Structure 1
Amino acid sequence: MQTDRKPQYLADILVVDDTLDSLRLLTRMLTEQGYNVRPLSDGKKAVTVAKMKRPDLILLDILMPGIDGYTICEHLKADDYTRDIPVIFMSALHETFNKVRAFSTGGIDYITKPFQVEEVLARIKTHLALRDMQKRLETQNVQLEQEIVERKRAEEQIRQQKQLLENTLESLPYPFYVIDVHDYSVKIANSEALKLIRNLSPPYPPCYAFAHQRGEPCQGGESPCPLETVKRTHKPVVVEHMHTNTQGEAQHVEVYGFPIFDEAGNVAQMIEYTLDVTDRKQREQELEELNQQLQAANASKDRFFSMIAHDLRSPFTSLLGLSEIAIHYDDSSKEELREIMKLIKSSAELVYARLENLLTWSRLQLDMMDYTPAHLSLHELVEPLIQHATANATHKQITLHNTLSEDMIVYADTKMLSMVIRNLLSNAIKFTKPGGCVEVLARENRHDVELSIADTGIGISAEDLPKLFRVDSRLKTPGTSGEHGTGLGLLLCHDLLKKNNGSIEVESVVGEGTTVRCRLPKGSPS
């Protein structure tokens, strides 16, 4: 003989989500765990379906066409039949989610998409247990008043309910407490909570003793007391709070508080569980800092591109003007034409130098530049570079001195280091007045070699020194003979030395001269 049996489920859950993939995923996930799942893709029907058969818990998407999750929750909480159904909101990470509105409309928790299976199941289990525990505790308080004549049976019932409560609490993965609202004493605590309390048996200390390591309740302010909030509002709360561990370290926690009422309708106790969100807050802070850095980098990039455009446009303006003059050759003498061609050549060389520096710097930023370090003799590397710079120096009656010893060895890429020294020599000559001096010297330290290029030039003000190596700032000082800069010179030197595990610093006094010091890893003779 066959009999119809009602299937046994852990709980009946209504899932409301207009995204079919999420709906199918949650349905399969919860069904496999033994829950009866009622999937619903139309948010407008949610209240009607819940009234037809009251579910044990509702998973409710926030953003849906026609009606949002907040409005649905408000309708549910306005009806006596559906008021006590726990509602957990769902929201995608990229969607705007108003926590304050979610909890003020009656939601008890929220989960984010994409779903973490363990988190979803743990939160559902937690809130089903909390709802069951809340109903049992409220029923218990009423029954104790009404069943005085049946004391023995009531006492046994209380014992059983207490055991059930303890078993339920022990199955939950977070610290759970039942706290007296009058003296802050902990009445019930699960094993996770006892790890914090450090008391193996009652009486337990008041909550502020182990949560804040202090002898009096917290005073609120920026971190309001959850117990006082529940006592004042008579409603469940979720608040961010600050705890202090035994090492005196501050911890960010999320506190979930649920009121337990006495027969007079006053809050007598509070169920509380806490989540340590210190790591999450740290990640949020790091994300905010990274966002600020990104905004600053974007602003610097925009200023940098603006300066590059100006640097490249200026020589072309001269080239166009000089070319126009050269077109009218018949109206000019050969000497005038020769001077025009010299100016055209100078402008073209300036454009080429700026483009070459820009391309080199770009390859360096993209890590596309060949880097082949070797043990190099500074004297052998610098001497031909000084010879190459002699023509410009002689033209300005500037003396060049190479005082490097022949046994000074560094470990660096030949091409990159040559580019650095060539730029620094060019700058030193450019900003030194006729009759001045530029000296190349070095000293050997314990772990590195300090190469210096010192001049007796016009110097740099203390206000301008911090701008030398910034991508979004540029000094416009012309050379002592009106020479123009090549744009990225010092910034390029900085990045080339950094690539070679070196560094650069500048000391300068206005009217006395400038010394540029480059530190490079020490090499060994071959």
Structure 2
Amino acid sequence: MELKTDLYKVEKIQELENEIFELKQRLNKTEAGLPCKSILNEDQKLVEGFGVIDHNFNILSFDAKSNSFRKNKDDRSSGQKCYSVFCNSNEPCAGCTILKKRASKLVWYSLQTQLPDNQRKCKKNIIASFESNEPNAPFLVETDLFYQQLFESKGDALLILNCKGQVLKFTDKLNEMLGYSKEEFSKLTVFDIDDPTNSLTFEERVSQVRETKGAIFETDLITKSGDLIPVESSLCPIKYHDKTVYFTSFRNIQERKETERELHESEIRFRTLVENATDLVMRFDREYRYVFINSASLHVFGIPPEDFIGKTHHDMGFPYDLCQLCEEEMDKVFESGISDVIDFSIEVKGREISFEWQLIPEFDEEDEIPYLMAVARDVTKRKQSEKALEEALKTKDKFFSIIAHDLKNPFGSLRALSEALQLNDDLTKEEINEFAEIIHASACQGYDLLENLLDWSRSQRGNIKCEPEEFDLIELVESNINLLQANIHKKKINIHFNPDHNKTVFADKYMVDTIIRNLMANAVKFTYMYGNIEISLLDREKHYGLSIKDDGKGISQENQTKLFDMDNQYSSKGTAMETGTGLGLILCKEFIDCNNGEIWVESENGEGSCFSFIVPKNKSGFTS
């Protein structure tokens, strides 16, 4: 880990530690001037014992030799009454000399065995007060005890090392955290407990600390069992008896590290999800600048994410109207704190893409909104489907309109004529023949209409599949001339078609047959009596085709644009008042598109029309 420093904290720690050791030095001098009491315990062994109590007999501190006088073996002797600990009494001892010193805040005491005149052993100890030649001694002891308690009570584990890494002093929390007894830990060095693998060696730290006057860093401590405990540590040098020692604190950050690890893993999962999302995921600040965008930008716009950071939509060259719309919508969400969804379209690489753009406010700890999260989803296919559905609904309405209106006429005629035949028994043969001719024409009209309706309906549902094959175009023209021969003969129309040889094409034969039949039927319908229809072959580089030209009514320029459009369906009556739906030409256009062909019209009002189409000659010119 990198060494981290906080000079302010280090200076404060160093100032505090300097004060501690200065007071300790003064205390050492004071203790040197204190009277040394040679006392005997009950086993007549020479002992020395002294310490400090307050004016309420509460023990503040006692030395190790005082343990031999303790009657109450409770480990927590500090803070208990001296007469309870050393005399096993519930009240101050009779003739206690401490009573005379209770005006003082702190009182030195000495422990000695009471010896009778005959030098026999006695079961009581004497707790005697004595004066120090050093007037600041009580203050120094109080200060020393205060810092001793502070050292032990600090939440972190503390350690004092010399320049060689040897342990000088430590708190119970440190040896307990690492699983050592006090005795075991006191014999260790920093090299036994610090793992420099992910940090610095002690020598490297000391070298840096000399320059920085203190450091805060992370490292791993080695437990007695060999496990590693991650800790946050502070290290600062302090002077003690003209030597430099190192005051170190350790804070167990195992739980924090585990939380950080889980957070890191969660972040990786989230980033993986975001970076692999097909949607555009973005963040914007209040200046409309990109703070983040995922890698989908490269797929959608062909621009790497890093090129967006710090830039606005205007900077990226998006259309002005789109930039204005985005900024207005972002302002709304910044102000309201409520998510919003808008739709927009943009042209990318010559293709229009529709997006659904969701804006989500990001709140900070102060309930402010510094950023917006934005998710843009490509809904082009959905929009196309919605448009197709809308068109299908319009087509359905048109379909039922045709059925309701255009089928009514031929069936109306059939109904009226059949009723007349049924009710009139005195009809002449000529009248019957005339009725029969009208009934036949109405039936043919209804049949043709139904056939076109069914073909068109199947094409809309996708039930007619384009199945290209090789066939002779000339044969289809001749078969349709024969099919329409009755209507041609009725109008005395002259058909001009003189092919010199066969023309093989590669297309769907059924669809091309339907195209020829509709174009020829229209030519007959709009040609006057004794008129002419000329059928010509077209030869292009990759296509063959036909031109069917009549000298009939013709079509205005305005109506020509409506011929192949379902939304602007155009229909007019023939020269013999024949009716139609206009559905045939729409069907022709759809079938031509399926066969990778073209269809067009050339006409002048009153001068006849010429409808032409082409289809591929062979497989190489066909694209399904």
Measured after TM superposition, the shift of residue 325 of structure 1 is 1.6
What is the CA deviation profile of residues 374-401 of structure 1, one whole-angstrom value per residue up to 9, with x for unaligned ones? Answer: 3223233323433444453343232211
Rounded to whole Å, the distance in 2 between the matches of 1:329 and 1:220 is: 79
**2:601 is aligned with 1:506:** yes
Partner in structure 2 of residue 312 of structure 1: 407
Partner SS, residue 330 of structure 1: coil
**2:542 is aligned with 1:447:** yes
In structure 2, relative to structure 1, the CA distance for the partners of 1:299 and 1:418 (3 Å cut) is closer
What is the CA deviation profile of residues 475-515 of structure 1, one whole-angstrom value per residue up to 9, with x for unaligned ones? Answer: 34221122233763223333333443433222221111111
Match of residue 349, structure 1, among 444, 450, 453 = 444
- Does structure 1 conserve the Cα–Cα contact (< 8 Å) formed by 2:333 and 2:340? no
Rounded to whole Å, the distance in 2 between the matches of 1:310 and 1:185 is: 60
Rounded to whole Å, the distance in 1 between the matches of 2:354 and 2:463 is: 45
In structure 2, relative to structure 1, the CA distance for the partners of 1:190 and 1:301 (3 Å cut) is closer
Partner in structure 2 of residue 398 of structure 1: 493
Partner SS, residue 340 of structure 1: helix
Match of residue 409, structure 1, among 487, 504, 509 = 504
In structure 2, relative to structure 1, the CA distance for the partners of 1:221 and 1:366 (3 Å cut) is closer
Rounded to whole Å, the distance in 2 between the matches of 1:260 and 1:520 is: 69
Rounded to whole Å, the distance in 1 between the matches of 2:371 and 2:465 is: 61
Larger radius of gyration: 2
- Does structure 2 conserve the Cα–Cα contact (< 8 Å) formed by 1:227 and 1:257? no
In structure 2, relative to structure 1, the CA distance for the partners of 1:320 and 1:241 (3 Å cut) is closer
Rounded to whole Å, the distance in 2 between the matches of 1:363 and 1:225 is: 45
- Does structure 1 conserve the Cα–Cα contact (< 8 Å) formed by 2:563 and 2:582? no
In structure 2, relative to structure 1, the CA distance for the partners of 1:208 and 1:165 (3 Å cut) is farther
In structure 2, relative to structure 1, the CA distance for the partners of 1:409 and 1:326 (3 Å cut) is same
Match of residue 426, structure 1, among 521, 531, 549 = 521
Partner in structure 1 of residue 71 of structure 2: none
In structure 2, relative to structure 1, the CA distance for the partners of 1:343 and 1:447 (3 Å cut) is same
Partner in structure 1 of residue 533 of structure 2: 438
Rounded to whole Å, the distance in 1 between the matches of 2:555 and 2:540 is: 27
Partner SS, residue 443 of structure 1: strand
Q: Where do 1:198-347 residues align within 5 Å?
A: 209-210=310-311, 222-223=326-327, 254-261=359-366, 272=371, 274-275=373-374, 277-278=375-376, 280=377, 282-283=378-379, 286-347=381-442
Could you tell me the TM-score, scaled by structure 1's length? 0.52
What is the CA deviation profile of residues 212-257 of structure 1, one whole-angstrom value per residue up to 9, with x for unaligned ones? Answer: 5859xxx987525979976x78xx6656799xxxx99999574542
- Does structure 2 conserve the Cα–Cα contact (< 8 Å) formed by 1:397 and 1:436? yes
Partner SS, residue 464 of structure 1: helix
Rounded to whole Å, the distance in 2 between the matches of 1:177 and 1:502 is: 45
Partner in structure 2 of residue 4 of structure 1: none
What is the CA deviation profile of residues 106-161 of structure 1, one whole-angstrom value per residue up to 9, with x for unaligned ones? Answer: xxxxxxxxxxxxxxxxxxxxxxxxxxxxxxxxxxxxxxxxxxxxxx9xxx99x999
Measured after TM superposition, the shift of residue 445 of structure 1 is 1.5
Rounded to whole Å, the distance in 1 between the matches of 2:438 and 2:582 is: 19
Measured after TM superposition, the shift of residue 411 of structure 1 is 1.4
Rounded to whole Å, the distance in 1 between the matches of 2:601 and 2:385 is: 30
In structure 2, relative to structure 1, the CA distance for the partners of 1:336 and 1:224 (3 Å cut) is closer
Structure 2 residue ranges without an equivalent (≥5): 1-235, 237-249, 275-280, 296-303, 317-322, 620-624
Rounded to whole Å, the distance in 2 between the matches of 1:438 and 1:221 is: 58
Partner SS, residue 463 of structure 1: helix
The structure where helix makes up a greater share of residues is: 1
Rounded to whole Å, the distance in 1 between the matches of 2:452 and 2:329 is: 61
Identity %: 33
Partner in structure 1 of residue 188 of structure 2: none
Rounded to whole Å, the distance in 2 between the matches of 1:383 and 1:419 is: 13
Rounded to whole Å, the distance in 1 between the matches of 2:437 and 2:407 is: 19
In structure 2, relative to structure 1, the CA distance for the partners of 1:297 and 1:163 (3 Å cut) is same
In structure 2, relative to structure 1, the CA distance for the partners of 1:387 and 1:338 (3 Å cut) is closer
- Does structure 2 conserve the Cα–Cα contact (< 8 Å) formed by 1:450 and 1:518? yes
Structure 1 residue ranges without an equivalent (≥5): 1-151, 199-206, 262-266
Partner SS, residue 577 of structure 2: coil
Rounded to whole Å, the distance in 2 between the matches of 1:327 and 1:506 is: 46
In structure 2, relative to structure 1, the CA distance for the partners of 1:209 and 1:404 (3 Å cut) is same
Measured after TM superposition, the shift of residue 166 of structure 1 is 8.5
In structure 2, relative to structure 1, the CA distance for the partners of 1:375 and 1:250 (3 Å cut) is closer
In structure 2, relative to structure 1, the CA distance for the partners of 1:333 and 1:452 (3 Å cut) is same
In structure 2, relative to structure 1, the CA distance for the partners of 1:162 and 1:227 (3 Å cut) is farther
In structure 2, relative to structure 1, the CA distance for the partners of 1:366 and 1:254 (3 Å cut) is closer
What is the CA deviation profile of residues 435-489 of structure 1, one whole-angstrom value per residue up to 9, with x for unaligned ones? Answer: 4321111222122123211111111122222332344554342211222337632
- Does structure 2 conserve the Cα–Cα contact (< 8 Å) formed by 1:166 and 1:190? no
**2:577 is aligned with 1:482:** yes
Could you tell me the TM-score, scaled by structure 2's length? 0.44
Measured after TM superposition, the shift of residue 189 of structure 1 is 10
Rounded to whole Å, the distance in 2 between the matches of 1:316 and 1:507 is: 34
**2:598 is aligned with 1:494:** no
Rounded to whole Å, the distance in 2 between the matches of 1:373 and 1:178 is: 52
Amino acid at match of 2:327: S
The Cα RMSD (Å) is 5.1
**2:465 is aligned with 1:360:** no
Q: Where do 1:23-38 residues align within 5 Å?
A: none
Q: How many residues align?
A: 339
- Does structure 2 conserve the Cα–Cα contact (< 8 Å) formed by 1:411 and 1:521? yes
Rounded to whole Å, the distance in 1 between the matches of 2:540 and 2:381 is: 38
Rounded to whole Å, the distance in 2 between the matches of 1:468 and 1:177 is: 48
- Does structure 2 conserve the Cα–Cα contact (< 8 Å) formed by 1:441 and 1:451? yes
In structure 2, relative to structure 1, the CA distance for the partners of 1:171 and 1:391 (3 Å cut) is closer
- Does structure 1 conserve the Cα–Cα contact (< 8 Å) formed by 2:538 and 2:614? no
Rounded to whole Å, the distance in 2 between the matches of 1:274 and 1:432 is: 67
**2:480 is aligned with 1:379:** no
- Does structure 2 conserve the Cα–Cα contact (< 8 Å) formed by 1:196 and 1:210? no
In structure 2, relative to structure 1, the CA distance for the partners of 1:166 and 1:507 (3 Å cut) is farther
